[in-house]
Amino acid sequence: MDLKNKAVLLTGASSGIGYSLAHHLAKEGCKLALIARRQNLLNKLSGDISSDNLVTFQCDVGKREQVNEIFGKVRDHFGKIDIAILNAGVSGRTALKSYNGNQAKEIFDTNSLSIVYAIEQLLPDFMERKDGMIVGISSLADVRGFPKSGFYNASKAAATILLESLRIELKPFNVKVITVKPGFVRTPMTDKNEFHMPFMIDVDNASEIILAGIKNEKRVIEFPLPTVLATKLIKILPNFLFDKLAGRKLPDRKDKVITG
């Protein structure tokens, strides 16, 4: 796929993978609608990118009414949306002593429901035109439920399964759905993690892999290879063995939601 002059909407654009992707997409000649919660970082990003076809919008994608408004503005600005890259995400660690629904809601709103809200806005036009692409950023952490990461793992599993279902349903309408499942990528969000992150890769390397997968219209983009292979092994482990390995004592850290 040639990305030149494609109208691309990118959420979570102000930092991490989104920030890097924005630069790569600009170099491809895309028309860019960059969306994030923090306007000051969006201003910096738009100043860093030399493009006449760039617009930014402040939006909390976990809030349906904001998504409805901003996606409408993007369509009005460019006439249509060709590709939506749904990249916004948060991480989080949860301790049993402070297990609570508010933290779960915050993580699911951003990692899972934001994708639903976006697709709700995209589908009518995509299906009518019989054209369009949805790229959802999930994670290799969707594979199983790890201690102290249940909310995050579950939110990414929900995203993966939702995107997979839509990929099949939208095929007759010529709408492509791509699921991106990164392992550990060095970003401001992972810099806040307090645990070992094996096989971590640079954010620009991650963006190049994602961009290549989009151009080739891959169904699933998984990386890096060592982590992909490890998660496939973890997925087929018998429950008793997974419980034993995953249940090794972890440091009792305070629960928190981690944003970029």
User: Is the pLDDT assigned to residue 189 strictly greater than 70?
Assistant: no
State pTM to two decimals: 0.91
What is the reported pLDDT for 170? 99
Give residue 96's pLDDT.
86
From the candidate CATH numbers 3.20.20.80, 3.10.290.10, 3.60.15.10, 3.40.50.720, the one assigned to the domain spanning 7-258:
3.40.50.720
**How is residue 197 annotated by DSSP?**
-
The mean pLDDT value of the chain amounts to: 92
**Taking the domains of the chain in order of start, what are their residue ranges?**
7-258
**In contact, 57 and 32? CB cutoff 8 Å:** no
> How much is the average pLDDT of 22-35?
97
- Residues 168, 181: Cα–Cα separation, whole Å: 18
Confidence (pLDDT) at 95: 81
- Just list the catalytic residues: 152
At 194, list the tokens. Answer: 């307090």
11, 118 contact by CB (below 8 A): yes
Query: Which residues are within 8 A (CB) of 34 and not within 5 positions of it... i.e. 6 or more apart?
Result: 10, 13, 14, 18, 22, 42, 45, 46, 54, 55, 56, 57
Question: 30-73, pLDDT tens digit by residue?
Answer: 999 999 999 999 999 999 997 889 999 999 999 999 999 999 99
Would you say residue 196 has pLDDT above 80? no
Which tens digit of pLDDT belongs to each residue from 84-100? 999 999 988 888 888 89
